[in-house]
Structure 1
Amino acid sequence: MENQQLKKSVYFSAFKGEFYKSINSYNADILLSEIKQVRNQLIQSKKIGNYKVLDIDVENNLWDIPSNWAWTRAGHILDVRDGTHDTPKYVSDEGFPLITSKNLKNNTLDFSNVKLISNEDHFAIQKRSKVDKDDILFAMIGTIGNPVIVKEDREFSIKNVGLFKKIPETNINMEYIFFYLDFISDMLRKNSSGAVQSFVSLKVLRNLPVPLPPFEDQQIIVDYLNEINVHLSKIDQKIKKLNTLQLNFPFQLEKSILQYAMQGKLVNQDNSDESASTLLKRISEKKEQMVKEKVIKKEKTLPPITEEEIPFDIPDTWEWVRLKNISTFGNFNQASPEKIKSDDWVLDLEELEKNTGRILEQKKASEKMIKSNKYKFNQNDVLYGKLRPYLNKVTIAPHEGYCTTEIFPITLIKGVYPKYIQYVLMSPYFLNYAHSLSYGVKMPRLGTTQIANALIPLPPANEQIKIVEKIEEMIKPVRNLSLLNER
């Protein structure tokens, strides 16, 4: 049973008088008679209005109640009014707050973003519906219900809000009325009028059936529901915490899978594989050849990797390298808008899904306004979103195209599997690295030097493929679980 359903069930039990056996010999009919006498006196002295309230009979009873209780109507035991239905003139300052249904939130009065009205309009509304401490406000339009007990003496006016006032010198517990209105709100919403916007009329509120216990029993029920609400609040907090854990679990599990993969703990090492050091030597030779052929520029010597930089241990057959060691990173091919053809693919950062690397859509240059230079990328390049790197936007180019300069194209040397590097750049240790070195407060970025010098745990070529296969085998059901949570 959900927490709200549990609350409704408990409230219903309370208003049926089921949770305790009353030993009170006092009968609510006597209480009704006393209230009627006081009410008539106040009507005669014109202190409250003489509005018509329907009589109540057995057919109006909503459910069975104890024999010493009585069914009555709200207008028989309370002074029920409502606020203005007109729109007063608003002022910018030195006015009085005008409370509407929108200001009744979570059974509290919210004075933020409230509009102010003139003194003249305020005092005119006060004659109809002056709000005092311990009165109950009730939203009559829009989200019907959400009753609020006024806890402090503060002057304000009300519009399209029901007002339940205690008849002076009568034994009515306003907290009991508050709890009942909170409970019965669902029924009022279901039976509300209005095709465009739901509303309940003042007549409906005045004729609302109310189960009335003797005064002492009202207090017992109030104490009981207050205690229950403390426990329900704790349950609600635990449910919210559990829901948060449930929503975060797939993401945290995926992070753990990637971190295990980066540490060489996801697949067994095969001693027959060519070692990463041998692979690294071949990569270095290939890059030297590319420099000679003027495919890439001669690179500056990268700083040596120190023990302090290494974030965790890796298998003996692996090597720690810098990203620039295994790629042509930095040799960007920039293109001005006029050099980009109308049918060329142009990728912007918002077209990459965070945390998954999924390309949400591919748009041609003709579908966009190209005003700035773009980076050209090739098929199988790793594309890394450098702006707000915590969004974890990394993908593999399915074919050549152009991208915003907020995305770094990374062309890898043969022997380095692009999909493996994508997972490296999306892994927890790399996210921490990117976060620690990003610059800019509102729009943090990772710089070119920081990417070039980033540490990469490099396994043998065959093991890279095995790791990717294992990651994707394990991540697929995890992402399916994420989709289920979102639904």
Structure 2
Amino acid sequence: MNKNLISLFDKAAESSEFIPKLRQLILDLAVRGKLVPQNPKDEPASELLKKIKAEKDKLVKEGKIRPEKPLPALLHDKMPYLIPGNWKWVKLGETVLQNIGGGTPSKNNSLYWDGDIPWASVKDVGKDKYLTSTQDFITKDGLKNSSSNLIPAGQLIVVTRMGLGKVSINKIDVAINQDLRALFLSSKSVLDYYYIFFLTHKFEGTGLTVKGIKQDELMAFPFPLPPLSEQKRIVAKVDELMALCDELEAANEIRDEKRKRLNWTSLKAVTDAKTPEDFKKASGFFINHLPEITVTQDHIKNLRQLILDLAVRGKLVPQDPKDEPASELLKKIKAEKDKLVKIGKIRKESNSTQIYPDVILFELPGNWQWCRLTQIANVGTGATPLTTESLYYNGEINWITSGDTGNPFITEAETKITSKAIQETNCKVYPINTLVIAMYGQGKTRGQITELKIEAATNQACAAISLYIFKDQMNQYVKYYFRKMYDEIRILAQGGAQPNLNMEKIKSTMIPLPPLAEQKRIVAKVNELMSLCDDLEKQISISSTQSTRLLNSILQGPLC
């Protein structure tokens, strides 16, 4: 085996993404004559071609196949690559005894369908090397009364339209449709070598809507024909190396699964720690094994969630007995809220904010306290001004939707509305630092939280959170808490095709409230650790890019 190729298998053992590229390299080397050594004793391809032609002429004379149409000459100075001296560039059709197309029985005649004859179309070909079953079946009448043909097992089935170039070998007798061609090969050809060839070549089709290749174009395609003995050696070596790739892939999957499990169990051990000693032990293990369990972007995502989880449980920074407890902070916030109700700036809420022991999510440090969001913040929403009213739009007031909540901060708005829209609709302008949660929206939108860095109104898909007593550390803490609760909040959503959150669910969200001084320490520590996560992500991204470039350059070497 090529020494360079041996070294590539060592590389493949280090990287799962390398294995598909290695498979392709093996196939490319195979059809270029670089996978196995040439044997000067092999009968050259030129002699093989003469024997194939003699076999075709005999079958034509016997009336078993039709004479082939003349094919255009090969331009040897325009061949895709160099091949060994005892190989020969030929037209594919020169080595094919016959190629047969197919058709589709009328869909309007139920007597033609659901019979016992497998009927192949594009969707059945190319998924696996061997075609052993089909999604559709036709009857004998369907086969008889259509242009479909029954192809005996052991032929090469090629897609010539709508998936151009896909290929399989039929292990069963199968009827085919008009988008497929069955290639019947000479007894002096190795079927699997042709299969390898089709896996390495891209066919350029024609057509405005659906690309396809005509029969004559396919038959005139340049084909690198090796001696028959070498075809057999090539196929044997490809099978051997593909089996090695399978083993490497399986080993890498086991390794990745173990790493994933280690990442998950070590994170869970930290979050589930019941005592300071357990926490110290679990977190120590995680830190000591950080390089092994944070090697992908998903691992860093899990690490971010761990940081947020520890933060809102009071496990990220130490408590200080000198801190004013959260219960006193809640009293101050309540006093401010009552004041705002009294002067008519906000409405008095009738819903209970009581939290019963059986709904508490987890145990908190002694100077923390559970509360509802509505106890510490006013929660509002917005509206969409009538889009047919031109006087509502192109004004100077920023207006955002749930689709704008994907970034940590909102610094500009694509849409502007007018003062008239504010006066005549339920839109309201919220101040800078207001937190905005998407209550519904496409994909990952629902549950996202962002922060206004501009004054802006929102549509009805957003919930706007304004603290009664604004403190930046509390604002950031609440924002981090909602980021940590993203998945849980999405589960709270209700609805059919597009599940929605609602204002009451947002308002009643339970918040684990630390003392104000500890909030400041928590936010500072979270910011510091998130910055480290950013650095780790960049390192992984850079490492991945460099590995890809290195692997691509290594892969090009054997082909040169």
Q: TM-score, normalised by structure 2?
A: 0.65
Compute the displacement of 1:135 (Å). 2.3
Residue 480 (structure 2) aligned to one of 423, 438, 442: 423
Instruction: Provide, for residues 128-183 of structure 1, a one-character-per-residue CA deviation record: whole Å limited to 9, x for no partner.
Output: xx744332233456865332223433323324x5542124xx24332232122223
Counterpart residue number, 1:401: 456
Residue 197 (structure 2) aligned to one of 160, 176, 180: 180
Compute the displacement of 1:282 (Å). 1.0
Preserved CA contact (<8 Å) 1:137 1:162: yes
Partner AA of 2:358 in structure 1: E
Partner AA of 2:482 in structure 1: L
Describe how 1:61-460 pairs up with structure 2 within 5 A: 63=82, 74-81=92-99, 83=101, 104-106=125-127, 123=146, 131-140=151-160, 144-159=164-179, 163-167=182-186, 170-183=187-200, 185-186=201-202, 202=216, 205-206=219-220, 208-214=222-228, 218=231, 221-233=234-246, 238=252, 246-300=296-350, 302-329=352-379, 342=393, 343=395, 344-353=397-406, 356=408, 361-365=413-417, 374-379=426-431, 380-387=433-440, 391-414=446-469, 416=471, 417-427=474-484, 430-460=485-515
C-alpha distance in 2 between matches for 1:402 and 1:300: 26
Preserved CA contact (<8 Å) 2:19 2:245: yes
Q: TM-score, normalised by structure 1?
A: 0.73
C-alpha distance in 1 between matches for 2:419 and 2:234: 66
C-alpha distance in 2 between matches for 1:212 and 1:144: 25
C-alpha distance in 1 between matches for 2:399 and 2:120: 51
- Name the SS for the 2:464 alignment partner: strand
Residue 8 (structure 1) aligned to one of 24, 31, 53: 24
Preserved CA contact (<8 Å) 2:105 2:147: no
Any gaps of 5 or more consecutive residues in structure 1? Answer: none
Compute the displacement of 1:324 (Å). 1.6
Any gaps of 5 or more consecutive residues in structure 2? Answer: 1-7, 9-17, 261-294, 546-560
Compute the displacement of 1:42 (Å). 0.8
Instruction: Provide, for residues 53-99 of structure 1, a one-character-per-residue CA deviation record: whole Å limited to 9, x for no partner.
Output: 689999989655597x7776543432254759xx9998656579998
Q: Summarize the Cα distance change of 1:213–1:385 in structure 2 as closer, same or farther, 3 Å threshold.
A: same
C-alpha distance in 2 between matches for 1:63 and 1:336: 68
- Name the SS for the 1:405 alignment partner: coil
- Name the SS for the 2:172 alignment partner: coil
C-alpha distance in 2 between matches for 1:392 and 1:441: 17
Preserved CA contact (<8 Å) 2:405 2:437: no
Preserved CA contact (<8 Å) 2:493 2:500: yes
Preserved CA contact (<8 Å) 1:260 1:266: yes
C-alpha distance in 1 between matches for 2:72 and 2:351: 93
Preserved CA contact (<8 Å) 1:104 1:139: yes
Compute the displacement of 1:432 (Å). 4.6
C-alpha distance in 2 between matches for 1:103 and 1:208: 26
Preserved CA contact (<8 Å) 2:377 2:466: yes
Partner AA of 1:378 in structure 2: Y
Preserved CA contact (<8 Å) 2:353 2:372: no
- Name the SS for the 1:475 alignment partner: helix
- Name the SS for the 2:467 alignment partner: coil
Instruction: Provide, for residues 351-405 of structure 1, a one-character-per-residue CA deviation record: whole Å limited to 9, x for no partner.
Output: 321x7465774411269999x9545252132222222687432122334433222
Preserved CA contact (<8 Å) 2:447 2:489: no
Q: Summarize the Cα distance change of 1:450–1:12 in structure 2 as closer, same or farther, 3 Å threshold.
A: closer
Compute the displacement of 1:269 (Å). 3.8
Higher helix share: 2
C-alpha distance in 1 between matches for 2:37 and 2:170: 31
1:47 aligns with 2:64: yes
* Bigger mean CA offset, 305-314 vs 16-25: 16-25
Compute the displacement of 1:239 (Å). 7.9
Give me the CA root mean square deviation.
Answer: 5.0
- Name the SS for the 2:167 alignment partner: strand
C-alpha distance in 2 between matches for 1:393 and 1:207: 54
- Name the SS for the 2:56 alignment partner: helix
Compute the displacement of 1:409 (Å). 1.9
Compute the displacement of 1:251 (Å). 2.9
Q: Summarize the Cα distance change of 1:431–1:45 in structure 2 as closer, same or farther, 3 Å threshold.
A: same
Preserved CA contact (<8 Å) 2:120 2:136: no
